[in-house]
Amino acid sequence: MREDTRSRIQEIALKLFIEQGYEATSLREIAEELGVTKAALYYHFKTKEDIVASLAEMRVNEIHELLDWLRLQPRSPEVRREFLVRYAVQLESSRHQEIMRFLERNQTALRDHPTMVRTRELMLELVEEINEPGDPLPLRLRRAMALFSLHAGMWLSERDAGTREEKRGATLQVALEILDGQESDEVTVKAAMERFGAAG
C-alpha cells in the first residue's frame, strides 16, 4: 500500500510539473490533487527535490540494468542490435516519455540536479559500451546517434498519425538503420520487438 501511495504521488507530481512547471508547483498543490494532507505527503517525500530524485532514480536503475547486461556480452553487431531493441522496449515500458517531457520543460531548474547529472553520465557509459576502443569517430558517432534517435523519434512522432505500435516500430527501424548503416525492414523490426514482449 505504501508503494502504491508513493507511485501515485510521483504520477500526480509529474503531471503538475509538466502542466504548471516545476518551480510553480507546490507540495500543497500536489497534496490537494491527491486528496491527502500535506503531512501525509511528507511521510513519503519531504521536498519537491525528493520527488524529482525518485523519478530520475527509476531511470538510473533501468539504465544500470542495461549496462550490467551489456557488460556481460561480447561486443558484436548482433549484441548492439539486441541492446538497441532492449533500450527501445525499456523506453516504452517506463514513464520515460512523461519524465522527458517534464525535463524538457524544466531544463533551467533541473540542469544541475545530481540525479540528472548521473543520468547523463550513465548515457555516456552506454555509448562507450557499444563501441570498441579505437573505433573511428564517424562509427562511434553513428552508434551514439542510433541510441539517441530512439529518444528523438518518440518526440518527433508524437503528432504523427498512426498507432503507438506503428510509431514505435518506425522509430526502432530508423535507429537500427543508423546503427547498421543499411536499410532495415518492418518484418525484422517487428520480430525483434516481439522477442522482448514489446508488440501490441
pLDDT computed for residue 193 by the predictor: 61
Full domain range(s) for residue 157:
48-195
Has residue 200 been placed in a domain? no
pLDDT computed for residue 1 by the predictor: 46
Instruction: Name the least confident of 50-59, 104-113, 190-199.
Output: 190-199
- Find where cell 550513465 sits: 122
Cα separation, 66 vs 49, whole angstroms: 26
Please name which of 17, 3, 15 lies closest in space to residue 49, comparing C-alpha atoms: 17
Contacts of 83 (CB under 8 A, 6+ apart): 66, 69, 70, 73, 130
pTM (2 d.p.): 0.74
Average pLDDT, integer, range 25-36:
92
Instruction: Identify the band that residue 200 occupies on the pLDDT scale cut at 50, 70 and 90.
Output: very low
Please name which of 181, 199, 182 lies closest in space to residue 190, comparing C-alpha atoms: 199
Domain tally, the chain: 2
Q: Are residues 39 and 62 in the same domain?
A: no
Has residue 82 been placed in a domain? yes
